[in-house]
Amino acid sequence: MAKRDTRCRLMAAEHTRLLALVMGLLLASDLYAADLDFNRDVQPILAANCLACHGFDAESREAGLRLDVAEAATSELDSGATAIVPGDPAASELISRIESDDADLVMPPPGSGHSLNAADKQILRDWIAAGAPFDQHWAFVAPVRGPLPSGEAAHPIDRFIGERLHAAGLDFAPQASAETLLRRVHLDLTGLPPTLTELDAFLAAWADDPDAAYEAAVDRLLASPHYGERLARWWLDMARYADSNGYSIDGPREIWAWRDWVIAALNDDMPFDQFTIEQLAGDLLPDATLSQKLATGFHRNTAINQEGGIDKEQFRIDSVFDRVATTGVVWLGLSIGCAQCHDHKFDPVSQRDYYQLFAFFNNQDEPNLALTAEALPFPETAPAEEKDKDGNIKPATTSLVLRERGEPRTTTVFVQGDFTRPADEVTPDTPAVLPALPRPDAEPAPATRLDLARWLVSPDNPLTSRVVVNRIWQRLFGRGLVETENDFGLMGTPPSHPELLDWLATEFMHRGWSLKDLHRLIVTSHTYRQASVETEALREADPANRLLSRQQRLRLDAEIVRDTGLTASGLLVPAVGGPPVFPPIPAGATALNQVKRDWKTSTGDNRYRRGLYTFLYRATPPPALSVFDAPPGITACTQRNRSNTPLQALALLNDEASVEMAKALAAIVESDGLEQAFRRCTARQPEPSELAVLTTLTPLEAARVLLNLDETITRE
Amino acid sequence: MKPLHVSETNANLLQSRTRRHFFADCGVGVGAMALGSLLADGNSAQANSEPLAPKQPHFAPRAKRVIFLFMAGGPSQLDLFERKPQLDALNGQRIPESFTAGKRFAFMDSSNGFNLLASKRTFAQYGECGAWVSDLLPHTAGIVDRLTFLKTCSADLFNHAPAKLFMNTGTGQFGRPCMGSWITYGLGSEATDLPGFVVLQSGPRGPRGGAVLWGSGGLPSSYQGVPFRNTGDPILNLSTADGIDTPSQRRVVDAVRALNEQRLAATGDAEIATRIAGYEMAFRMQTSAPELTDISGETSETLGLYGIQDPGESTYARNCLLARRLVERGVRFVQLYHTNWDHHGGPTENLETHLPQISREIDQASAGLILDLDRRGLLDDTIVVWGGEFGRTPMGETRESTGRNHHIDAFTMWFAGGGFRPGLTYGETDEFGFGPISGATHVRDVHATLLHQLGLDHHRLSIRSQGLDQRLTGVEPARVLHEMLT
């Protein structure tokens, strides 16, 4: 292997246009005060157009100019010119260059793929005239909890969102109907639609007191064992969980006990800081318990190449690269992986910083942990145990874990990310731009994964809490407050509501990193509870819904499409945890890879388990899940696609599992009538015009229609 | 994964196409006013509408579609196209250290050898161009004047799955969009009843790496390759379930549409319009895909051209014919995988028995495809690519029989049609065929060239995904191989 291509150079013309568009919109509608804000207004222009050649990466820096820090940008260059003379645009070389008509002088250079429009140029000119104040990039400064905006809303979130809506002359949409709201919060918190019993009880309570009924429902859902399943799936995407080794051989592996650890931890509302520490370094905790060792499976979800003829060291290092990149994106929201081959082009992460992080993950063995039934997160799910010839119980379950090596490996920088080209030796440390790792001793031992994990969730870390609350926000609204939820660096989009993001991030930490509290806080806001209907007026005023003038219809995640069908048809077996299962899939679906894998379809209860438990082969993922964008567990997936394709229609119309659900629902149509079947799928009463269509059909046809409705597979 | 940044131009095109499609093709019964207003805004939800509608390329294209004949496992260029008398003369001797110093190879710890292995094949020059072809490929030899040979392609990775990914996505990392996805993303598809990107497979097993080879990475799944299967339904879930007849299926699809239209009116969500179109396409595919794979209407002369003996048998030859039928129907990118070219010398994969066998499996059909496309006027704007993920070493591996190791410094590919210069051989390798002595070329250059012929600038065809702007050709230099083009 020569070098790993990290593709960090950004050809950002398109990006610039979009940013300019967005910014133009925001400025035009006077949403902000007239003052320029460096992070919001200026930095994105510099990042998109200038920093590739005048940024952090010394190797690609042109003319000795860097525009990412004030001191360098305002110093005299070798050429004698000064790019930025604070307060004096006319004397600033930057202004004369961006306004030059001379193709040899104009910046960005023609053919670079970058260009500035008139609005960009005006912003740069105004900014320099105002003294060219640089700020540290917002995401590298710890969140500051500002005062709540004034307003009448009781809920803090509604104050922040309302302030911006009102400034734009808009208001919230009305609250969604009781049925829509209950179905929404059910799907978001547990991934299961309400049963008719739950629905009817809720409607009765709502008639008395809507707020009380809703809050009680939220409490009930957060206490449900299915909450942990729903949130676990969110986490498993980031952990790149799968049940096979990946690459071409893709043999099965056993790591489901770790998946169950996640479900149980989330159901127990384990504080997110502890959740982090146990997964990254549970084995290093004093007197580590079996459960804490099991938790380290997080970073064993890397692929393993079983192909012949490979260099094992190469693939071991590849999995360390993956661990560094995954840690960077999941906790810090940074594309740290870019610094594997060279200094980061845009973010202040040097290649040395990268290998210092690498050093934390370079010293582990990768054993299997044997688990007896009692050691499992859900002991009742344990496969039958066998006894050895001495009558001792042999654990039937193992799980992949990390364990620190006695003999540490030496870590070096790799030239161009190529492990055959070691360079300077490095020791474990965190990136210089972020707060330093606390090292109490004068001559401390080398920092460990445990130090790293604690540092990630220390209150001084400016990123982790923001990144997590932003992802929960994204889960509940379809888009994060920072739209580039996996890039909080200089190339990321600035937050749409920076004060709210910081308020939530600090609130999350104040509440002891409780994810349940965070969910409760958000879903009880009116911002969350409002209707998702898109009127023409709203589309005009807030076309992409960045101001949150309404909720957002979101197509359900792949596993939840399945879970919804199983629940509506009454087939769901709601057991929590245990070994992965094999529901029906199309014949031959696992035969596309080098090694054809058997798929022994489960019978009995395991045929009807939640999508979360379906066995996932990385090379040949279950079609009914991948067609709805379930990630194959190859790299950390922090945001799923929501595609909308004809193959999804074929899966819902014709797949054996779909037809089985339809037959079960058809029986319900016959026994309970069309209206009840309709409510099981959508939670609402059908309109007469809808019933009119359905009554022309046979029960099976009607059931198939209901399970194929856009509304059934959408959270409204 | 994040929403795509569709450029304004594309968004406008998309919208006008969507509007046209709905009124002209779908006859969706939504009030014209409502739909008009739906499509008038530029919000990002629109980006999902009609993702496969044809789009304008960056500049005038020379070709419209691609058929990629992927020889999975790494064919031996030294036994097919590269005649090296010096290699034959020094058979059994150690390759000079200057060639191998500092190089890494697959199977370094076990079977990799350093002794040169002569080819057992006989070579001759063919056609007006005088291209060398071995006795293993007589039909290919007969069409060399229509082919453009590249002798010096190089890659970065020498294990199968990563190297296949590299050839398809420009990186060995998983989760990146493949060439076919990029191209359908850039150009959409002209097929109204079939997917825009289809994958066909033959040989004893699937290609190593599996579905990621035709995955769409950070692009929406609309652009991922749809594998057609050789047995049963050509597309997963294509057949209506047992006991459900076509009229019933039609009633269901019609009722789904009627209710979805009501929901569209109630919620104003354009995604519902896309879903309505998706159900119509799915229903049409239920007819069009079986029609596509039913080759009983092809003449015996055509079957003979491809060397198809039993039209019902799933073979590479049948897949070549299906490829022609797919591009005839407007499919943008067709990729055929044929296994297994991994001739290390073991009892089931050696140069003596198995290379001749697999060469027979692909020779006549590949040539037949070129001739058939040509006589139907399709070759001019269809690019056919032949090649594997890498080639094989001049050094032999002697296991039970003989073979060669994986080699990435210089391997042979050929191209036909779509503005490639017929009869040209580009690039020359050293006396052993180890490395280039002129015309050194990289997989990225091949990518840039294919995109260029399709009217796409490899610098501009990019998306922002996982915090980065991604392109098929990545960040390293890539150049369009103008010397190989007309």
Q: Are B162 and B451 in contact (CB under 8 A)?
A: no
H-state helical runs in B29-188: 32-40, 85-89, 97-100, 138-141, 160-169, 179-187
Which residues of chain B from 204 to 263 reach within 8 Å of chain A, CB to CB? Answer: 205-212, 215, 220-222, 226-227, 229, 231-233, 235-241, 244, 248-249, 251-253, 255-256, 258-260, 262-263
Q: Do B2 and A484 touch (CB under 8 A)?
A: yes
Establish if B459 belongs to a structural domain: yes
Q: Do B255 and A705 touch (CB under 8 A)?
A: yes
Q: Do A18 and B5 touch (CB under 8 A)?
A: yes
Give yes or no for B70 touching A (CB within 8 A): no
The mean of the pLDDT values for chain B is: 86
Number of domains in chain B: 1
Establish if B107 belongs to a structural domain: no
- Candidates B111, B233, B466; nearest CB to A486: B466
Q: Give, in degrees to the nearest 5, the angle at Cα A468 between A463 and A474.
A: 125
Tell me which residue has tokens 């709905």: B22
Establish if B443 belongs to a structural domain: yes
Q: Retrieve residue A713's tokens.
A: 């597979």
**Cα–Cα distances in angstroms (integers) from residue B272 to residues A474, A539, B154, B438, in the given order:** 21, 16, 46, 55
DSSP, residue by residue, B329-342: TT-SEEEEEE----
User: At residue A712, what are phi and psi to the nearest 5 degrees?
Assistant: -65, -35
pLDDT of residue A274: 98
Q: How does strand B441-442 pair with strand B131-134?
A: unpaired
Q: How does strand B147-154 pair with strand B441-442?
A: parallel
Radius of gyration of chain A (CA): 27
Give the separation between CA B272 and CA B265, rounded to whole angstroms.
10
- Candidates A5, A650, A710; nearest CB to B272: A710
Give the separation between CA A309 and CA A26, rounded to whole angstroms.
56
- Res. B433 pLDDT band, cuts 50 70 90: very high
Mean pLDDT for the stretch of residues B24-53: 38
Q: Has residue B446 got a pLDDT over 90?
A: yes
pLDDT of residue A591: 66
Tell me which residue has tokens 């079986």: B290
pLDDT of residue B161: 82
Q: Do A701 and B460 touch (CB under 8 A)?
A: no
pLDDT of residue B399: 64
Q: Do B259 and A690 touch (CB under 8 A)?
A: yes
pLDDT of residue A391: 79
Q: Retrieve residue A586's tokens.
A: 């199309």
pLDDT of residue B36: 28
**Cα–Cα distances in angstroms (integers) from residue A51 to residues A43, A125, A344, B443, in the given order:** 10, 18, 11, 29
Q: Has residue B40 got a pLDDT over 70?
A: no
Q: pLDDT tens digits, residue range A580-605?
A: 999 998 877 776 556 677 888 999 99
Q: Retrieve residue A446's tokens.
A: 């080398």
Establish if B397 belongs to a structural domain: no
User: At residue B336, what are phi and psi to the nearest 5 degrees?
Assistant: -105, 130
pLDDT of residue B109: 52
pLDDT of residue A613: 98
Q: Which three-class secondary structure state does DSSP give residue A547? A: coil
Q: Do B271 and A555 touch (CB under 8 A)?
A: yes
Q: Has residue B108 got a pLDDT over 70?
A: no
Q: Are A669 and A681 in contact (CB under 8 A)?
A: no
Q: Retrieve residue B145's tokens.
A: 């004047």
pLDDT of residue B338: 96
Q: Which residues of B touch A591 (CB under 8 A)?
A: 206
Give yes or no for B457 touching A (CB within 8 A): no
Establish if B478 belongs to a structural domain: yes
Q: Which residues of B touch A648 (CB under 8 A)?
A: 278
Mean pLDDT for the stretch of residues B454-469: 81
Chain A residue closest in CA terms to B157 = A1
Q: pLDDT tens digits, residue range B255-266?
A: 999 999 999 999
Q: Do B208 and A307 touch (CB under 8 A)?
A: yes
Radius of gyration of chain B (CA): 24
What CATH number corresponds to the domain at position B213?
3.40.720
Region of residue A304 (left: phi > 0; alpha: psi -120 to 50; beta: else): beta
Instruction: State ipTM.
Output: 0.88
Which residues of chain B from 77 to 106 reach within 8 Å of chain A, CB to CB? Answer: 104, 106
Chain B residue closest in CA terms to A703 = B252
Taking each helix axis from N to C end, the angle separating A656-672 and A558-568, rounded to the nearest 10 degrees, works out to: 30
Q: pLDDT tens digits, residue range B192-215?
A: 889 999 999 998 877 776 778 998
Give the separation between CA A403 and CA A516, rounded to whole angstroms.
31
Tell me which residue has tokens 């071991």: A316
Write down the pTM of the prediction.
0.80
- Res. B107 pLDDT band, cuts 50 70 90: low
Peptide bond into A108 cis (omega under 30): yes
Q: What are the average pLDDT values for consecutive 10-residue runs of chain A, which has 716 residues?
A: 33 37 39 66 86 82 86 88 91 91 87 80 90 90 93 94 95 97 98 98 98 98 98 98 89 96 98 98 97 98 85 90 96 89 83 95 95 93 82 86 92 88 93 88 84 96 98 96 90 91 97 98 98 89 90 97 98 97 85 72 94 93 90 88 88 95 98 98 97 98 98 98
pLDDT of residue A452: 97
Q: pLDDT tens digits, residue range B114-146?
A: 899 999 999 999 999 999 999 999 999 999 999
Q: Retrieve residue B201's tokens.
A: 């497979």
Which residues of chain B from 174 to 203 reach within 8 Å of chain A, CB to CB? Answer: 174-175, 195, 201
- Res. B49 pLDDT band, cuts 50 70 90: low
pLDDT of residue A496: 93
Q: Give percent of chain B above pLDDT 70.
A: 87
Q: pLDDT tens digits, residue range A105-161?
A: 889 887 676 788 888 899 999 989 988 888 889 999 999 999 999 988 999 999 999
Q: Are A533 and B268 in contact (CB under 8 A)?
A: yes
Q: Do A711 and B263 touch (CB under 8 A)?
A: yes
pLDDT of residue A16: 38
Q: Which three-class secondary structure state does DSSP give residue A604? A: helix
Which residues of chain B from 310 to 369 reach within 8 Å of chain A, CB to CB? Answer: none
Chain A residue closest in CA terms to B169 = A5
DSSP, residue by residue, A484-531: STT--STTSPPPSSHHHHHHHHHHHHHTTT-HHHHHHHHHTSHHHHB-
Q: Which residues of A touch B196 (CB under 8 A)?
A: none
Q: Do B278 and A586 touch (CB under 8 A)?
A: no
pLDDT of residue A18: 39
Give residue A628's identity as a one-letter amino acid code.
Answer: F
pLDDT of residue B128: 97
Q: Do B222 and A644 touch (CB under 8 A)?
A: yes
Q: Do A305 and B48 touch (CB under 8 A)?
A: no
Q: Retrieve residue A454's tokens.
A: 């604690």
